[in-house]
Amino acid sequence: MSSILDNPSLANSLIPAFSWDELEDRLMALAPTRVKKAMVPALVSAVRKQSWAVPPTQVLDEILALAWVLNDETFQPELSNRDGTWLRNS
């Protein structure tokens, strides 16, 4: 596989590779609340599981949508804990 160091023109044609774990880490860092941070692993897992069956552009669309939803100030989810109490968005 050619690299940008070998062929600088690739810098304009390829997105840098990253792992699913790295994606999850970055989305966790971007998520502004603990409730949204708690959602990240399940959301990334869902995208990862469907990624084999869809075109790369659709995977990118899903990743961008995750970032947008996690940072949407009008989206304020509440999650329930296993004991039935609610985890508030703060």
Q: Within a domain: residue 46? A: yes
Domain count, the chain: 1
Domain that holds residue 63: 17-73+83-87
Under 8 Å between Cβ of 51 and 59: yes
User: Does the global pTM surpass 0.75?
Assistant: no
What is the structure's pLDDT at 80? 66
Under 8 Å between Cβ of 20 and 44: yes
Which residues of the chain are under the pLDDT cut of 70? 1-5, 10-11, 79-90
What is the structure's pLDDT at 72? 84
**Tokens representing residue 17 in the block:** 């590779």
Q: Within a domain: residue 9? A: no
